[in-house]
């Protein structure tokens, strides 16, 4: 994915190809994946499905591929402010790390602990190197990260979610990205006119950003709370991200036993 992301940054490939790149990059994982392709049916739905455990087979692999495409591109479109791409990755990676540690501590199944340990061994390097990048990319940015970074970060998190078998938890960590994707759907699908950049409007005199009517979480948030400076806006959005992660932990705590 790093290779394809860098090729994209250098050659500026058309966006339809951009969407396809993560599926190609995910191929080694899909081909080599020898683990189980079963899912545990949530307790309330067992009566409808008829089984406790359902083997999805190739559909599971399709899901893995789609998860990779989603994670990479969703981080890529929830971007445009100094420090937002790296910041959101740092927040989610920290949440993943905490989740992994909690799961290892609370479990006694060695295979389960191994899966979460595997995830830790990949998330810690992601977190450390991203923090180093953030030290240059935070407002005001001295460097930009490029598609290379957003694709790399998205793929890493998709990979640990898949191999650690906690992809539903991962998706709840990605709640703001999911919201942003849903808000963007009308423009991405072409239903509503989609400009080259969907960033908020910058006023050089006040130094504040104002939300436009584009369908992004950034613009939606600005329309709700009013014009903000770039730095404050980024901090707010990262707090929203962190809140989403806390909400996920709360949800898991409340639903434990009831859900699985």
Q: Which residues bind another protein (CB under 8 A)?
A: 2-4, 6-7, 10-13, 24, 27-28, 31-32, 34
Looking at the Cβ atoms of 13 and 188, the one nearer to another protein is 13
Cβ at position 10, least distance to another protein in Å:
5
Q: Estimate to the nearest angstrom the gap between the alpha carbon of 234 and the chain centroid.
A: 17
Looking at the Cβ atoms of 25 and 67, the one nearer to another protein is 25
Picking from 75, 74, 73, the residue whose alpha carbon sits closest to that of residue 19 is 73
The DSSP string of 194-209 is --S--PPEEETTTTEE
Picking from 114, 89, 93, the residue whose alpha carbon sits closest to that of residue 104 is 114
CA dist., res. 207 & res. 228, Å (int) = 8
By the 8 A CB rule, do 241 and 88 touch? Answer: yes
Burial class (CB in 10 A: 0-12, 13-18, 19+), 172: middle
Cβ at position 47, least distance to another protein in Å:
36
Cβ at position 6, least distance to another protein in Å:
7
Cβ at position 28, least distance to another protein in Å:
5
Looking at the Cβ atoms of 17 and 40, the one nearer to another protein is 17
């Amino acid at each position: 994915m790093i290779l394809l992301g860098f090729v994209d940054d250098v050659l500026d490939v058309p966006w339809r190809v951009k969407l396809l790149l993560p599926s190609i990059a995910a191929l080694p994982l899909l081909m080599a994946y020898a683990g189980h392709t079963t899912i545990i049916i949530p307790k309330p739905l067992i009566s409808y499905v008829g089984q406790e455990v359902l083997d999805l087979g190739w559909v599971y692999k399709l899901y893995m591929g789609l998860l990779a495409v989603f994670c990479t591109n969703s981080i890529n479109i929830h971007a445009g402010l100094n420090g937002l791409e790296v910041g959101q990755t740092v927040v989610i990676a920290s949440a993943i790390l905490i989740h992994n540690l909690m799961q290892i501590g609370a479990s006694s199944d060695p295979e389960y602990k191994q899966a979460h340990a595997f995830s830790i061994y990949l998330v810690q390097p992601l977190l450390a190197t991203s923090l180093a990048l953030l030290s240059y990319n935070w407002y005001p940015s001295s460097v930009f990260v490029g598609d290379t970074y957003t694709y790399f970060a998205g793929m890493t998190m998709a990979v640990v979610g898949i191999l650690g078998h906690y992809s539903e938890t991962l998706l709840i960590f990605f709640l703001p990205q999911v919201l942003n994707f849903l808000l963007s759907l009308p423009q991405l699908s072409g239903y509503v006119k989609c400009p080259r950049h969907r960033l908020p409007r910058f006023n050089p005199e006040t130094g504040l950003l104002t939300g436009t009517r584009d369908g992004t979480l950034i613009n939606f948030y600005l329309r709700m709370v009013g014009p903000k400076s770039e730095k404050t806006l980024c901090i707010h959005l990262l707090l929203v991200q962190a809140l989403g992660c806390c909400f996920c932990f709360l949800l898991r705590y409340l639903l434990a036993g009831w859900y699985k």
